[in-house]
Amino acid sequence: MIKFDNNLLTHVEEMDKQHMKFVELLNNTYKFLREGKKDEALELFERDLLAYMEHHLSEEEKFMEKIGYPELEQHRKVHELFRREVYNLAPLIEKGDSKAFREALSFAWGWLYSHIAKTDKKYGIYAKEVEIDLKKKDLAAV
């Protein structure tokens, strides 16, 4: 299970809330598996987790566009690799392939933690710099 801590904060409130939700969904999936509720875990993964993943990645990309994040295209490529990896396993998971399900969960946990802690933190820093620059410009205009 993933503990959401300061290592996962980007300091962009909406993105941090979405990351928390993502972690919660992964942890709930794991909890179901640990309790022997494989069908519930599979349903949560297929119904909620995959949909939320797509929603979050899209929202994150829109946010980076909005702030003019210079590494947006590279970040999109990283998201696309993640999508491709998970979606390649999805048909196997739907057919009941336990190994593919474990691989997808393991991949999602590892990717999520390292992606937020390293890659997403960069846009958080950039967003803060943009905010400071805007405040300076507003003060200079007064």
Taking only the tens place, the pLDDT of each residue in 30-78 is 999 899 998 899 999 888 988 999 999 999 999 999 999 999 999 999 9
Instruction: Note the pLDDT of residue 140.
Output: 54
Instruction: Note the pLDDT of residue 110.
Output: 86
Instruction: Note the pLDDT of residue 111.
Output: 85
The ranges assigned to domains in the chain are 12-141
- The pLDDT > 90 percentage for the chain reads 51
- Domain 12-141 CATH (choose: 1.10.510.10, 3.40.50.720, 1.20.120.50, 1.10.3720.10): 1.20.120.50
Instruction: Note the pLDDT of residue 142.
Output: 45
Taking only the tens place, the pLDDT of each residue in 71-119 is 999 999 999 999 999 889 888 888 888 899 889 888 888 888 889 988 9
List CB contacts of 88: < 8 A, sequence separation 6 or more: none
Taking only the tens place, the pLDDT of each residue in 114-131 is 899 889 999 999 999 888
